[in-house]
Structure 1
Amino acid sequence: MSKYSDLIQATAERMLDLMKQGTIPWRRPWNDPDAPKNGSINGPWNPTSGKSYRGSNTLILLGAQMAHGYNDNRWLTYRQAESIGAQVKRGEKGQQIAYWDFSKAGKAKDGAEPLTEGEEKSGYQGPSVFVATVFNASQIDGMPEPPPPFVMPESIRNLRVRELLDRHQPKVHHDGGNRAFYSVAADSIHLPKHHTFRDDVSYQATLLHELAHWTGAKHRLDRDQTGRFGSQDYAKEELVAELSSLFISERLGIGLGRQHEEQHAGYLQSWMRALEDDAKCLFRAASQAEKVMTFLDIPAFEREPLPQVKKEQGMDQRRKAEADRRSPSRRKERQVA
């Protein structure tokens, strides 16, 4: 098995273990004191680039944070830690993630004829996938204190949602009774009355979840939406919408609160069965959710990257971190902690 296949299998096993505990493993329960607050942009990100992790890597790192109890959401490679004058602690084990090289994707393999409409893509090569190891900031000495979570002002968040709806013009009807759903036949979103939601954030989270379903129409992203309620196909489409909600919430600061959690906890058993049958289903759903982000034109949030340090300066900082780690007073401090 390739390293990427091993990563897929290991991720599926971790997610299944967390699901068996009754946990949706890519987000903290609404009543967890460490759960992101409404408006906060709090997903895994790389402090040396300032960029948020995306797609399946978001799920991998959120699952790792939950499994190991990390409250810091910064992740970086060994060399990236060195580049900012920090040092991975001795004996720490990193988390593998995947990254892709798209430079040759879509080009014909040797001897393959150019594609014509309707032909299979077997003659073309996809992106190359590699596996990298990253470490959580709490596993690294010499890291600066994390910046406070960026909080999206309510007025800006509401404006972003309105702009999103104005740009795509979905048909939205507030006639769903106590249900929220997307009608494939009518190509329309149906919601309960606005005042029946706990708050504006709960309303927005539900609306954007159904908007994710809306993107799956044949003339948009063309996902299979023929599954009946309770079927595996239905559960897989719900998983795409769930992950889309997660990615949207991380980009717009829309908290997925108690109401959203209660509505979607019932899918845990179906998602567990899907993962047991096909370890790749979570990665596929994450990839499709990223396509939803691209279609809706919701850019990933970026922060100011940390400054790089000169090699000599970085070596001095690493020596100091190593000395601190070895000093009796430092060892005593760690034992007390």
Structure 2
Amino acid sequence: MRRSLSVRWRLTIAYTVIIAVSGAVLLTLVYGLVTGGEVQSGSQTTQRTPGTDTDVPPPEPVGPGARDDDRSDGAQLAQSSWLALALVTAASVGIGWVVAGRLLAPVHTITARARRISADSLDERIALGGPRDELRALADTFDALLGRVQSTVTSERRLVATMSHELRTPLANQQAALDVALADPAADADELRAAATTALDQSRRAARTIDALLVLARAQSGEATGPPVPVDLRAAVADAVDQARSADDDVLTWDVHLVPATVPGEPDLLARAVANLVDNAAHHNVPDGRVLVTVAVEPGTARVAVENTGPIVAPDAAADLVLPFRRAAADRTAAVGGVGLGLTVVQAVAEHHGGRLVLTPRPDGGLVAELTLPGP
């Protein structure tokens, strides 16, 4: 494969060609003007006007020798001019090389610093100084990209580390229950059934964690399975409330206010998001608590608000509840609680659809979660 010229050489050649062409055009125009004036001066004729002074001698006629001298001077002028142009063009190669090198120096700085940045040094930045020109804007854009990459990589590493711990716990509990049952040769059917039940519960917990991680990965990838379709938000919230109330056994008081609302998006992801909000409000509650679910429509947006009673949440800790595997303390159903990814999935789904999730602690305990989505 033939190696192409570097940008520095291309700029140098471009500068040289521009200078050479401009000089050639200028010399051609000057030479044309000079030779045109010589032709006019060599072909002048004199006419005597009646009544004028006859003592004035007529101009001396221009002979062939004078014209030959003019042609010789013009040819010498042209030769000297083209020689000067050749020297200027040769000098412009070196000047263009130096100028191109100075102009491209920031590019070399960006390249050298970018090569030093790796997955283990994402905190480094280009930090290009100098005037705020296009190259400075390019370096600043690259630094902003590095910041987003660093945030994503840090979040993924934290998620993987926490996920490993979360999956290790049910697997360890499952193994411990089976080991205890198998280690007792006198274990009866009830003991073996209890061990199998424990192992099955832990297996289901691990399956819920994996399922939530798959939904989270799909939402965070930003890749839609197809074009957005109209989603009946009211129906999705109503289904989520019905499922949560059927599993609640009338322990909580439900106050539901729904209005017709349609938003564009992916039905499965939106259904999972509103279900997580409702389930989170039911699980993180207190005995004889209350859950308030509202669907409201505003100009250009639709809003799902889920409010519940529950333990007091510090204002500075509310934002951390969307982080993976963060659970509130003193859960009402701690034994069968979620996997700690409910609000994380809601946050990812909201961002995937161009919306937002806002968590506001209630003064007397509990939380208000508002999911706002752009309307059609």
Using the size of structure 1 for normalisation, the TM-score is 0.26
Max radius of gyration: which structure? 2
Q: Pick the structure with more helix per residue.
A: 2
